[in-house]
Amino acid sequence: MHAPTTDLTDIRVRTATPEDGDTLVELISLVDLQLRAEDLPGALDPMRYALTDSDDGPLSHRRNHFLIAENGEGVPVGAIACGFAKWMSDRNRSPVIMRRKLVERISTVHGLAVVPAYRNQGIARTLLRHAEDTFRDAGYTVMTLRHDRSLTKFYGRLGYTSHNRLSMTLPTGELLSILDRGWKHAFKLLSPAAAITTVQGMPTITGALPD
Ligand SMILES: CC(C)(COP(=O)(O)OP(=O)(O)OC[C@H]1O[C@@H](n2cnc3c(N)ncnc32)[C@H](O)[C@@H]1OP(=O)(O)O)[C@@H](O)C(=O)NCCC(=O)NCCS
């Protein structure tokens, strides 16, 4: 694609529609999902299904929020996909009793991508800020994500704290600790109700879930 220097004011961010299925999958496929080649083709299908969910918000698609960035000609140049994290519905990783609270207060970025010709112009930052604002307004307390080591600085500049584990104290007093080999976890507080403390040497989120 021709590489124009775009004025950020020319970029429009809009919520994705069911017709954006291919566009969204194509854009989010720019993320290295660290999957085996044979698992790749269907890996983003759940995103397509989620796009058909109702969008009577605060989020664009029930528990998911999908945004597309378009250039001045209406061509999609970036996307962000957020929703609940897989570990929230895994009984081996988080207590079942906490599931609803987790899903209603904590969101995760499943993918953030900008087409190469439009990178380094602030489009990813804009998409992330839009998504964070929406989740904050919807009462979410923390945004989380997993990222490749090479992006630690990138997310750090956007206000994210990165560590090997995602660590959080639950209202039950338990310590939730999520580890995914090969990834770093990052989080950003969206609400003054939540805070960061150090537990067992790890930056740990407290106060993210209501008692
Ligand atoms: C990572 C990615 C989304 C960044 O998109 P972008 O629109 O270029 O990002 P921005 O222009 O908003 O960048 C914001 C800042 O991060 C810096 N930055 C961008 N990409 C970076 C990278 N790969 N490593 C380190 N810093 C980076 C920019 O220079 C900019 O710095 P500044 O605020 O000091 O000017 C884009 O490179 C991409 O799509 N990569 C492939 C998919 C991917 O890896 N996604 C992230 C994992 S979910």
pLDDT in tens, 157-175: 999 999 999 999 999 999 9
Asked if the model's pLDDT at residue 2 lies above 60, the reply is no
User: Ligand 1 centroid vs 46 CA: distance in angstroms?
Assistant: 25
H runs (alpha helix) in 2-122: 21-28, 40-43, 45-51, 99-105
* CATH number of the domain located at residue range(s) 8-206 in this protein: 3.40.630.30
Tell me the pTM. Answer: 0.92
Ligand 1 pocket residue status of 5, Cβ below 6 Å: no
Of ligand 1's atoms, which has the minimum distance to the CA of residue 112? Answer: 48
The percent of residues above 90 in pLDDT, for the chain, comes to: 80
Quick check: helix, strand or coil at residue 49? Answer: helix
Is any ligand 1 atom within 6 A of the Cβ of residue 209?
no
Does position 37 have pLDDT exceeding 80, yes or no? no
Half-sphere exposure of residue 192: CA atoms within 13 angstroms, side-chain side: 0
**Does the beta carbon of 147 lie inside 6 Å of ligand 1?**
yes
Which of these, 5, 9, 13, 2, lies nearest to 131 by C-alpha position?
Answer: 13
Please write the tens of the pLDDT for every residue from 110-152: 999 999 999 999 999 999 999 999 999 999 999 999 999 999 9
Q: Domain segments of the chain: what residues?
A: 8-206
With a 6 Å cutoff on the Cβ, whether 112 touches ligand 1 is: yes
